Structures are given as C-alpha cells and as structure tokens.
Structure 1
Amino acid sequence: MHRRHGLSVRRKLTLSYAGFLMVAGVLLLAAVWVFLLRSYPSGMLIRSVLLRGFGPAVGAILAFLLVFGLLGGWILAGRMLAPLAQITNATRMATNGSLSHRIRLPGHKDEFRDLADAFDTMIARLEAHVAEQQRFAANASHELRTPLSVSKSLLDVARADPNRATDPLIDRLHTVNTRAIDLTEALLLLSRAGQRSFTREHVDLSLMAEEATETLLPLAEKRGVILETDGEIAPTIGSPTLLLQLTTNLVQNAIVHNLPGRGTVWVHTDVCPKTAVLTVENTGEQLTPQLVATLTEPFQRGTERIHADQAGAGLGLAIVKTITDAHDGTLTLTPRSAGGLRITVELPAPAPHTDR
C-alpha cells in the first residue's frame, strides 16, 4: 500500500513530550503568579515591580523548557522506540526471504517484548513449515528418481532390441519418462536452491555465460537460432553449480521460446559498482506484461510458445528465480517491444579488497 510520508513516530512523541512540558510549565508559572498576587493584594508599585521581574524570568523558563523538552523528548523517544526498530528490521528480513533471523529482544516483559516474542514464534513456525515443504519436495524427488530411472533403462533396452517390431507407443513412453525425469531433477534442484545450503565461492558470470552457450550451441544450431555472447568480467559470490544452472536455464529458455529458423539470442554480462549483471535477451512472439509477470511461477509457460522436443518441465524460470533469491539478487523480466523477452539478473558484487 502506497502511503504519503508524514512525521515519524519519534518526532510525534518528541513534540508531544515538549508540548506537555510547556503546558505544565505554563500552568506552574501561572500558579506562582496567582500566589504572588494573593501575597501582595494591594500596592500597584509592588505589583509593577513583580511584573517587571517576573516577565523576563517566565520567558527564560519557557525557552529552557522548550529546548529541554525537545532534546529530552527526542532522546527518550529514541530509547522507547529502539525495540520497534529491531522488530521492523526483522520483519523486512523475513519479507526478503530470510526466515532464520530472530529478534530475541532482551529485557523485562512489556508490550514490545510480547510483540517481539510473538514475532519470533510466528517466524519459527513459518520456517519449520517451509523447511518441511522443502524436505517433502526433496524426498519425493529422491523417491521418484529410482523407479523413473529403472523405467528409462527398460525402455532403452526395448528400443534397442533389434527383434522388436516398430512400436510408436514405446517411443512415446520413452519421451514421457524422460520428461518425468527432467521434472524430478528440476524439483530436486528447486528444493536445494531454496534451502540456501550451498558453499559460496567467487564466480565470474561471464565464464558461466560462455560455458552455457557452448553447451547449448547444438540446440541453437538445430533450431536455426543465432547465439551472441559478449560483455565484461562480472564477479560475484555464490555457488558455481547453481549459477551455471541459472545461466543455462536462461539461455535454453531463450533458444526454445524463439522464432524457429530466424531467431537470435543475446547474452551479455556487465559489472556495476555493487552488482554483477547477466542479461539474456531473445527474439520471439509478442508477450504481454501480464503474461511475463507469471512466467517465474512453477509450471507456468507462455501460451503457444512451447515446442514438443524441448518443452521442459515448466520450472526453468522458477528455478532461476529461486537461485537468484538464494543469492540475494534481483530478477527482472521485460517484454521486448519487437517481440521476445529480456531477462536481467543482478547479483551482489564481492566486497573490494582493502590493503592495510
């Protein structure tokens, strides 16, 4: 929800403290003035002297109370709201996908501690639920790999048997089984990437791009798609295996969802002050922003863009998004005005070395 900027809670509390202190000071000085008037009920000279001496003192006292109220209110409000800042930071981390962080607010029990404890409990349950789902996906993938592999071996033997009659059913079963194996491997990779349980190393995205394009060059030639790779060295920190999978998925997606026989794929790497950037762009059919917004969801495919020989499992860009999130990066999908798609991955660049 978009909201207009207003005064912060700290400023509001500061003004409230200062205002309350000023009102209390005015009431106190008024009471003193009434007391002095009652003490000297007569004598205009005495009242005139009191007024001349009391007026400047009142102004000085009120100025002091204003400064003291603003300064003291600012400090007190900051101390009071410090736990709320911790809770806000933890909430933002959880929103960005980091469910392992806990507030663990110290101190005696109060409203802020109750809120922090409730938040920690909620995040702990959410983390356990997510971990359970990831373990289920990983275990299911492992359980499916063995029977699918056995089926594939049996189908390979049947297809290679020289005495068998030509049977289109066997070929179809082999295709379906291969798709099932690809889907299982993709689910397993999706689960592993989501758990962020990988060793981070220095990785150059330009090398990942070169390796991916070399691997997929036969597929591009088969489809008549031109591959163009260029760019600068783009260092980042992460898993070489996962980042190579990310790059391969992007390039394969750009080749498959292209114009057969006359398509082009551009793979470009760049480096910015704080990020390493990988961009994969391809020609293709016109895509709407509404369709592009759904392409990173699991099992979502662009309508009329899938070809039978390389349909995939519908998890290519979902895996790319998961790997990008696991590396604290950002993924941007933009439809090209001339048709096709432009995908940009931005990953944090390694911190520069400083000589001591």
Structure 2
Amino acid sequence: MSRAPGLSVRLRLTLSYAGFLMLAGALLLAVVWVFLLRYVPDRALIVSADPDTVVFPVRTNLLRMFAPRAAAALVFLLVFGLVGGWFLAGRMLAPLTRITGAARLAATGSLAHRIRLPGRRDEFRELADAFDTMLAQLEAHVAEQRRFAANASHELRTPLAISKALLDVARADPDRDAGELIDRLQAVNDRAIGLTEALLLVSRAGQRSFTRERVDLSLVAEEATETLLPLAEKHGVTVETRGDIATTVGSQALLLQLAMNLVHNAIVHNLPEHGAVWVGTSVQPGTVVLTVENTGEALDPLLVPTLTEPFRRGTERVHHDHAGVGLGLAIVKTIAQAHDGTLTLATRASGGLHVTVELPRA
C-alpha cells in the first residue's frame, strides 16, 4: 500500500514527551507564582529595627526577577524533554524495530526466522510471540502445501501415464481387444476424476467457503451408513449405528462427506471376513462427538498419526480394490478443522482403528 510520508512514531513520541514536560513545568511555575503573589504587597513595606533595616519587595520587582528565570527554566525543560524524549522513545520502540524487520523479511518469503524477543512479558513481547507463532504456523502450512502439491502432481501424473501407455500399446497392436482397452481406460479415468474431485473438496473445505446451518450428526451418520451398506455387505462387514442427537453448525454436505469417508475407510480397511464397524454420536459439554470404530489388523502406533497426511494410504494396512486415492482421512481432517473441530486417531487393542471427531455444539 502506498502512503504519503509522515512523522515517525519516535518523533511524535518525542514531541509528546517534551510537550507534556513543558506543560507540567509551566503549571508548576504558575503555582509558584500564585503562591508568591499571596505574600508580596502591592506597595513597598519597610521595617526598621536598629541596627538592621528590612525592605520587602513589591510585585513589580518580583515579576522582573521571576519572569526571566521562569523563561530560562521552560527553555531548559524544552531542550531536556526533546533530548530525553528522543532517547526514551528510541529505547521503547527498539522491540518494534525488530518486529518490523522480521515482518519485512517474512514478506520476501522467508519464514524460517523468529524474533524471540527477550525480557519479561509486555505488549511488545506478546506481539513478538504472536508473530513467531504465526510464522511457525505459516511455515508448517507452506511446507504442507508444497508436499501436497508434489504428491498431487505425482498422483495425477500416474493415471495420465497409464492412459498413455495403454494407448501406445493399442497403437502398436491394432488387433488388440478394444473392449478390454476401453474398460481399463474407463477405470483409470474414473480414478483420475475421483482424485480431482477429492482435491477440489479439500480446497473448498480449507477455504471455509460454505454456508453454515444446524446439522444433526446422528442423521448424518445414519445416512452415511445406509449409503455404504452395499459396500459393507460386499466386504462381509457388519455396520452398527447408535448414539444421541448431536447438533452442530456447519455444512450439511461437508459433514456428510466427513462421515462417508470415515465409514468407507472403516469398511475397506477391515478384516478379510467377519469384520465390524461401530458408528456412534454423543453430546459432551460444549461439543458433539462422532466416533467410528472398526475391527482390523493391529496397527503400528507410530503409523497412526501419519494417516491424516494427504495420499498416505497406510502401507501396513489391509488393501482392497476400493482403497481410494489416499485423501480420505486428509479430507476428514480438513473438514473438521474448517468446522473448528478436532480429529483424533487411536489404535484398538484388538486391532483396527478408533476415530473421534469432536465439533462445537450448536
């Protein structure tokens, strides 16, 4: 933003200090002058007592003696106020100079530096600490976005490369069965479309560009389980839904997508047979909770925190044809954060995963 030049904060503080000091000095001299006038007569008063004679001055003489000295005192206060105010303002604004330098450095794209202002807590240090926290969050966010962009480019390049390879094979072998080629191209295309839609959903949820309304998580959970019931039957997984009315404020479509992803993930990553999924809702003080728990093979506790990273499919987990594009839990995390909520993953002692989404209560 282009701004017209103006007085610096240090100069304005200096003038304020000097002006206040001048005003305080003038008031003090005025009080002294009024006090002296009460005891000085209008006409000369001579008291004679041998061997000494005492002569009291009149107000006119007092004014001639007081005025020059008062003016000199005010001039001294002005110079002292300007010099001292300039020094004090510089000392007070020194932390702000460091913060400004850090902000300008961040504007160039450098996010690794920190202010780390020493000293006890005050307004400047609270500002510096808040700025350091913001830089840390921005650095982590930018790093995450870079990883996400790199992974997305890789994931999008894969179906394109497969399609090119299939077309090259078909061109080299004109007698090859066209129906098989079309089916494989259709599968690759569907996967690319699903990945693109998932990326758009992550972007939409991250920007919080959605209309908020009252949403009952229990109804959302029921709709998600009913929609995915055929998939559960295909995999031999039983799904049980239970819970209380749990109302929050947010996007009906995004929260339904959140529940769909969790239930789909629980069905797909389950036992080869006789698996189970439990979906529940509950109400806590100030929050509502959606839980999805599933049976499955034992998971490494060190692996669980990484499952919410984009394109992390969990290489140690059971895979199926419906394993998805690796954005299921990443989308859940983004939607939960967009609704000011939290996502918690935990392993089950008997195997499988326990997922908890906690959102603000309406």
Paired residues of 2:297 and 2:318 also in contact (CA < 8 A): no
> Which residue does 1:190 correspond to in 2?
202
> Which residue does 1:237 correspond to in 2?
249
The answer to whether residue 127 in structure 2 is matched with residue 116 in structure 1 is: yes
Shift of 1:259: 1.1
The answer to whether residue 337 in structure 2 is matched with residue 344 in structure 1 is: no
Distance 1:128 1:330, change over 3 A: closer
Distance 1:316 1:113, change over 3 A: same
**Partner residue of 1:217 out of 229, 236, 239:** 229
Distance 1:214 1:171, change over 3 A: same
The answer to whether residue 334 in structure 2 is matched with residue 322 in structure 1 is: yes
Q: Structure 1 unaligned segments of length 5 or more: list them.
A: 1-79, 81-86, 88-110, 156-163, 351-356
> Which residue does 2:193 correspond to in 1?
181
Normalised by the size of structure 1, how large is the TM-score? 0.55
Query: Using the alignment, how far apart are the partners of 1:232 and 1:257 within structure 2?
Result: 26
Q: Percent identity?
A: 67
Distance 1:302 1:199, change over 3 A: same
Query: Using the alignment, how far apart are the partners of 1:247 and 1:221 within structure 2?
Result: 18
Q: Could you tell me which amino acid in structure 2 is paired with residue 284 of structure 1? A: G
> Which residue does 1:331 correspond to in 2?
343
Distance 1:225 1:165, change over 3 A: same
The answer to whether residue 253 in structure 2 is matched with residue 247 in structure 1 is: no
Query: Using the alignment, how far apart are the partners of 1:118 and 1:276 within structure 2?
Result: 32
Normalised by the size of structure 2, how large is the TM-score? 0.54
Q: Structure 2 unaligned segments of length 5 or more: list them.
A: 1-91, 93-98, 100-121, 168-175
- RMSD across aligned positions (CA): 3.8
Please show how residues 78-117 of structure 1 align to structure 2 within 5 Å: 112-113=123-124, 116=127
Deviations 1:122-143 (A, max 9, x none): 9599879969x98x97xx99xx
Where 1:287 maps in the other structure, the secondary structure is: coil
Paired residues of 2:282 and 2:289 also in contact (CA < 8 A): yes
Q: Could you tell me which amino acid in structure 1 is paired with residue 232 of structure 2? A: A
> Which residue does 1:168 correspond to in 2?
180
Q: Could you tell me which amino acid in structure 2 is paired with residue 276 of structure 1? A: V
Query: Using the alignment, how far apart are the partners of 1:265 and 1:125 within structure 2?
Result: 38
Query: Using the alignment, how far apart are the partners of 1:118 and 1:337 within structure 2?
Result: 41
Query: Using the alignment, how far apart are the partners of 2:282 and 2:211 within structure 1?
Result: 24
